[in-house]
Amino acid sequence: MSKSIPSDSKANSQALWGGRFTTGAAERLRDYTQSVSFDWQLYRHDIAGSIAHAKMLAQIKVLKPSELKVIVDGLEEIRAQIDRGQFKWRTDLEDVHMNIEAELTARCPVGAKLHTGRSRNDQVATAMRLWLKDKIAANRSAIAGLQAALEAWASRDIEIVIPGYTHLQRAQPVLLAHHLLAYVEMLERDYERLADGLRRVDVLPLGSGAIAGSTLPLDREFVRKTLGFARISENSMDAVGDRDFIIEYNAACALLAVHLSRLAEDLILWSSAEFHFIRIGDAYTTGSSLMPQKKNPDIAELARGKSGRVIGNLVALLTLLKGLPMTYNRDLQEDKERLFDTAETVQSTLLIFAEMLGHIEVHADACKHAAADPLLLATDLADWLVRKGVAFRDAHHLVGEAVALAEKRKVPITKLKLTEWKKISPVFDKSALEIFSVEKGLAARTTHGSPNPKLVKLQLSRWQRILAERKPS
């Protein structure tokens, strides 16, 4: 356990805020303003920033080598103690930064020198950027994992044909694999957006002070290299007041959450008795407390619901920032819970989805029956007329007449007699009925990006190569 620290509020205020304050903080103020209950998650990154800062202070002769060793050893001991769950967080010390600094100073008085040349403004901005760099890497790895699960499912059921839908109405036949690869493409954009946003996260603000830098000869380049940032912030006011990188991350995650919600919706529909395309494994579904027959796709439903939280976090952050004057304002403390919640929500959803997809069974017969609907090939028939010299708009109208006649007669369109086809248009002949073959229809789609089985297999091969390169070595 950490050494005891005086809990007297007046002593704490005077120690942390200096001689400006003559009375301690009110208990309600401490409770209202504390953030350690959630920003403790930054402890590893705060300590990493502090160690880099201490090493820089030694470089510029503010700290002696012996003092540096004491400080670094003390910080590493505190980090190990927190890792073990043995550190007692104190809300009267407000945040993660004060908790760690106060504990360090209690263990070694030279720790009081650590805050030289920095403010909590640039300290917290640095810790958050370091934390977010790690989260983006984890998110991208989880996205690749979900893409791999989708690709594996697509490869496993490469022969399955289902109706493609527009307006949730049957439209044209597609391979199930083609449908699944559409989500792989959507997730790829999420993967790329996070990588692009990382460039604006990867900026070191430490050394900006509270607002106007420092009169000390701080070596910011040394700190940048030590912490592994790509570049240094160029304006001290912007550096401490900037939360664009958090909003941009949340925006990317909001779109990712929307994509996951859309995938969830398809899984929910497909697993319903009305569609009956898939069966989700028992370990990834739940039952009903009343109805013994129920098997609910709760993971997908929760993911669909959690997307609203992530979108809400983005709106909250935009609202938080929109009215703030330069530079740092305490309002910015409210960014962390929204950020932490978004990162955890999308990460947990990505991981559970990747697991669940490996436990889905396709009902091939149900898919085949749905894909056998001849109206899925109505557009193919219009294209057949175009090849016979009929203008497409006229062809569209003629096929529409045939559909209406079949509905009136309450028979499949393939059961219309040749004489009835001829009455609609003399262009129709027996070869028109050969159009109503799902296999031929898919094979005829040779444009790049279409669900032609050969093209889909090429896409699967392409994604297998891409995703193999993303697997951790």
d(CA 258, CA 188): 14
Neighbours of 157 (CB within 10 A): 19
Q: Which of 14-18, 264-268, 460-464 shows the lowest per-residue confidence on average (mean pLDDT)?
A: 14-18
Residue in 310, 301, 201, 308 with CA at minimum distance from that of residue 254: 310
- One-letter amino acid identity for 67? E
pLDDT at residue 1, rounded to an integer: 31
Tell me which H or E stretch contains 221.
Answer: helix 220-227
pLDDT in tens, 57-81: 999 999 999 999 999 999 999 999 9
Residue in 212, 260, 269, 267 with CA at minimum distance from that of residue 236: 212
pLDDT beyond 70 at 13: no
Inter-helix orientation angle 96-107/43-59, to 10°: 50
* Cβ atoms 60, 219 nearer than 8 A: yes
d(CA 89, CA 103): 10
Task: Classify 107 in phi/psi space as left (phi over 0), alpha (psi -120 to 50) or beta.
Answer: alpha
Residue that wins the pLDDT comparison between 17 and 443: 443
pLDDT at residue 30, rounded to an integer: 86
The correct answer on CATH 1.20.200.10 for the domain covering 121-370 is yes
Q: How much is the pTM?
A: 0.93
Coil vs helix vs strand at 166: strand
Give, in order, the Cα–Cα distances in Å from 356 to each of 146, 286, 350. Answer: 10, 13, 10
**Domain made up of 373-470: CATH architecture:** Orthogonal Bundle (1.10)
Phi then psi for residue 215, to 5 deg, are: -85, -10
Tell me how many degrees the CA angle 150-438-398 measures, rounded to the nearest 5. Answer: 125
* Cβ atoms 117, 57 nearer than 8 A: yes
Neighbours of 444 (CB within 10 A): 15
From 288, 359, 369, 461, active-site residue: 288
pLDDT in tens, 364-399: 999 999 999 999 999 999 999 999 999 999 999 999
Give domain limits for the chain.
9-116, 121-370, 373-470
288 is known as an active-site residue: yes
**Percent share of the chain, pLDDT over 90:** 91
pLDDT beyond 60 at 8: no
pLDDT beyond 60 at 15: no
pLDDT confidence tier of residue 3, bands split at 50, 70 and 90? very low
Give, in order, the Cα–Cα distances in Å from 50 to each of 66, 94, 206, 316. Answer: 16, 18, 10, 30
**Domain made up of 9-116: CATH architecture:** Orthogonal Bundle (1.10)
pLDDT in tens, 200-259: 999 999 999 999 999 999 999 999 999 999 999 999 999 999 999 999 999 999 999 999
pLDDT at residue 17, rounded to an integer: 56
From 4, 167, 289, 431, active-site residue: 167
233 is known as an active-site residue: no
